[in-house]
Amino acid sequence: MGMNIHVEEASPERDGEAEDNESIVAEINITPLTDVFLVLLIIFMVTSTAIVESEVASRSGVKVALPKANAAGAVTKRRTDPVLTVTKNNELYLYNRRVEAAHLEDEIRKALAEVDSETLLLRGDKSVFLGAAVDLMAVAKKAGARNIAVLTQSDRKP
């Protein structure tokens, strides 16, 4: 931050007066301060966007090509409902954490208990076989999921 100091000297007509009449004018240059605030604002906007995107990515897990359904209604879900994702290679992810099929029931039970929910959201790639999806739903029912919602991509045109 810069500061300008300007000293006004006595005029020639006032030579007889004391030198105490000199006046000091101090100005603060706020341009650098404004620049700093704008840079901080930009940094805040970028980091807050990155935090929101990372939170959304951590909630949804792995990217999959969801099947399209034009008759499906919107799923009413809580923000904390566990999301089980099945990739086209039949890999299982609970939220964004990979889970082995042998431990799936225990992991679903823990996830449901942590968020105090009875709803499991199932996301699967459109190439996953129906038999695999039914097997996963059976395991989820054993683990205590009373409601299972299958997530799809809307086929409706806006």
- What is the number of other CB atoms lying within 10 angstroms of the CB of residue 62? 16
CA distance 1 to 31: 8
Question: For residue 60, what are the contacts with CB-CB under 8 A and spacing of at least 6?
Answer: 83, 85, 96, 123
* 52-100 pLDDT, tens digit each: 777 666 665 666 766 766 655 555 556 678 888 888 888 898 888 889 9
Please list, in sequence order, all residues whose beta carbon lies within 8 angstroms of the beta carbon of residue 66, skipping any fewer than 6 positions away. Answer: 123, 124, 125, 126, 151, 152, 153
Between 101 and 158, whose confidence is greater? 101
Q: Strand ranges (DSSP E) for the chain?
A: 2-8, 23-29, 68-69, 83-86, 92-94, 97-99, 119-124, 147-151, 153-154
What residue ranges do the domains of the chain occupy?
Answer: 2-58, 62-154
- Kindly report whether the global pTM for this prediction surpasses the value 0.85: no
The predicted-structure confidence for 17-65, as pLDDT tens digits, reads as follows: 555 567 777 888 888 889 999 999 999 999 988 887 776 666 656 667 6
